[in-house]
């Protein structure tokens, strides 16, 4: 999730429920030269992706489903999330649970639904988000309240509400994973006037580090992905305009916007044995925007 236009925008029992038991030499044991396939294996793992009905959330959910994980996708809009889950169910195991994580009550209700389906939750992707853009001197109080409630408080409340199933899935050699979706707008000041959004994503990055420090001893890793420009509803105002898109791509050292495979690959790394020894990191996924400038 990156730059936004002026004005308001939003949006952003059985074997399947057992904790994933890694096998020696297949990515879950001591790590003595596992195959590449085993290193990135997330099959039989359970996952929740918030904001999973579109954009980066849908890209992540699709990657996990295609890789064999059993996934719940959630978002505020019932019709949208049900349609997304139906599309993903054609390639694997996926279910929809509508929810609004911008309130503590909404986060707790979603967590209760998840715990019913998944007594052990291996992967939590906190992707749901909101944004607001307005000129500095006209930026309204409401443009802070909803954005911070969804982007920061929602991440915190949902993670806390799901600690029980995350702990049930956690293993020393194969931790439970929390993956927060931040933004390069929380690393470098953006050109557009999305003050509450950039501040909220910087807060997500610090919350990621703080939670990682607290939960490491419980074998729960917490990392963040900070995307640059990807095709999404949030970026449609710019990427659907050929001139604006060309300008954005020109500002990316690698010369293009992100593809679904880019976020899929990083997610599978963080969710699998390959990323088991990583916690407290914020990884820019931006084609070099923050690293090369």
Tens digit of each residue's pLDDT, the chain (293 residues): 443 333 434 444 333 333 444 433 344 455 567 888 899 999 999 999 999 999 999 999 999 999 999 999 999 999 999 999 999 999 999 999 999 999 999 999 999 999 999 999 999 999 999 999 999 999 999 999 999 999 999 999 999 999 999 999 999 999 999 999 999 999 999 989 999 999 999 999 999 999 999 999 999 999 999 999 998 766 666 777 888 889 889 999 999 999 999 999 999 999 999 999 999 999 999 999 999 97
Tokens of residue 115, six digits: 């715990």
* Amino acid 256: pLDDT: 94
One CATH from 3.30.70.270, 3.30.1490.20, 3.40.50.720, 3.30.300.90 for 7-11+36-285? 3.40.50.720
Global pTM value: 0.88
Tokens of 118: 């998944």
Closest CA to 166 of 101, 128, 97, 212: 212
Catalytic residue, from 197, 200, 223, 276: name it. Answer: 197
Helices 260-271 and 55-66 pack at an angle, to 10 degrees, of 60
At residue 89, the 3 state secondary structure works out as helix
Rounded to 10 degrees, the C-alpha dihedral 163/165/171/174 comes to -100
User: What tokens were used for 133?
Assistant: 């853009």
Of the candidates 226, 260, 228, 227, the one whose C-alpha atom is nearest the C-alpha of residue 62 is: 260
Active site (annotated) includes residue 195 = no
Domain boundaries of the chain, sorted by first residue: 7-11+36-285
The pair of structure tokens assigned to 272 is 């699998």
Encoded tokens for 193 = 């006037």
Alpha carbon distance 2, 148 (integer Å):
16
Q: What are phi and psi of 126, to 5 degrees?
A: -90, 90
């Amino acid at each position: 999730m990156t730059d936004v236009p002026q004005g308001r925008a939003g949006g952003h029992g059985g074997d399947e429920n057992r904790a994933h038991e890694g096998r020696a030499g297949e990515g879950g044991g001591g790590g003595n030269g596992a195959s590449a396939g085993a290193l990135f294996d997330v099959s039989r793992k359970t996952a929740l992706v918030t904001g999973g009905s579109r954009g980066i959330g849908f890209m992540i959910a699709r990657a996990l489903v295609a890789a064999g994980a059993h996934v719940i996708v959630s978002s505020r809009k019932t019709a949208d999330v049900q349609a997304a889950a139906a599309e993903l169910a054609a390639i694997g195991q996926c279910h929809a649970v509508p929810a609004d994580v911008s309130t503590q009550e909404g986060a707790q209700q979603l967590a209760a639904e998840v715990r019913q389906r998944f007594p052990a939750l291996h992967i939590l992707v906190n992707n749901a988000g909101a944004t607001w853009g307005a000129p500095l001197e006209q930026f309204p109080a409401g443009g802070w309240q909803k954005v911070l409630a969804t982007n920061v408080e929602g991440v915190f409340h949902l993670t806390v509400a799901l600690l029980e199933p995350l702990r049930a899935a956690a293993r020393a050699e194969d931790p439970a994973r929390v993956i927060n979706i931040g933004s390069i707008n929380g690393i470098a000041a953006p050109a557009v006037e999305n003050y509450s959004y950039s501040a909220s994503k910087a807060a997500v990055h610090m919350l990621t580090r703080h939670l990682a420090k607290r939960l490491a001893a419980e074998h729960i890793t917490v990392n963040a992905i900070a995307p640059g420009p990807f095709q999404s509803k949030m970026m449609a105002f710019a990427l659907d305009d050929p001139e604006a898109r060309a300008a954005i791509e020109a500002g990316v050292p690698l010369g293009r916007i992100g593809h679904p495979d880019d976020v899929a690959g990083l997610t599978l790394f963080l969710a699998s044995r390959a990323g088991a020894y990583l916690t407290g990191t914020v990884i820019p996924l931006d084609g070099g925007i923050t690293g090369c400038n």
